[in-house]
A and B are shown apart, each in its own frame.
Chain A
Amino acid sequence: EVQLVESGGGLVKPGSSLKLSCVASGFTFSSYGMHWIRQAPKKGLEWIALIYYDSSNKYYADSVKGRFTISRDNSKNTLYLEMNSLRSEDTAMYYCAKTGSAGYYFDYWGQGVMVTVSS
């Protein structure tokens, strides 16, 4: 059974940093691209970052480019999202998700971790 478990969320002040983790199990983590997707309260879904299976390529949404960094450690089956210069508009539930086998859709999602940016 595929499982993705996020951690590291919390309440932080504007301008601060936070690092999210996502531990994967139930599939060969090192063979799949992974994503971070977020959802502001009562809002829709926003894809924010993709990392290839071997970390050779990384892509970001314009809203987080230059502030967020996606990375992975295949030896630990773990995906990361380092978030710097956080803003109030970054307040959201953050999900990690696995790339599908037939395209860049998301076939499995974690339960999500909440990040609140407020003074």
Chain B
Amino acid sequence: DIQMTQSPASLSASLGETVTIECRASEDIYNGLAWYQQKPGKSPQLLIYNANSLHTGVPSRFSGSGSGTQYSLKINSLQSEDVASYFCQQYYDYLTFGSGTKLEIK
């Protein structure tokens, strides 16, 4: 099974800052990677698929990049509504999630 190692586990940043969350796969997943945002008490929402494609309606301050085993989610100009947990998910071989990153405002 492909393991997804996500870092950091938690993150505190100021409004307007840029933050980056990373996921490392245990083997090459050939850009089969998605990112999700889960606000407190809500279901997850898709942000990015195929490593760098923005889902419909997602603000352009969210972006994804990476290849091979290393992927990242970048949030530019952090806003208060971005407080959430973020999860990566690989779908190259079966379906596995990273352990999540909890983002708070400093």
Contact = CB atoms under 8 A, between A and B. Distances in A.
Given A45-B44, A95-B43, A112-B43, A107 B97 contact: no
Interface residues of B, number: 22
The binding surface of chain A is classed by DSSP as strand
Interface string B59-74: 0000000000000000
B34 interface: yes
B49 A103 contact: yes
Interface stretch (B10-18, B20-28, B88-96): B88-96
Interface string B16-50: 00000000000000001010100000111110011
Interface in A25-53: 35, 44-47, 50
Interface string A101-114: 01111111111100
A46 B97 contact: yes
A105 B31 CA distance: 12
Nearest to A35: B95
Given A105-B34, A105-B89, A112-B43, A44 B49 contact: no
Contact of B95 (A47, A102, A109): A47
B105 to A, nearest CB: 21
A10 interface: no
A100 interface: yes
Contacts of B43: 95, 109-112
Contacts of B100: 44-45
Contacts of A59: 94
Central interface residue in A44, A45, A95, by most chain B CB within 10 Å: A45
B53 interface: yes
A107 B43 CA distance: 12
B99 interface: yes
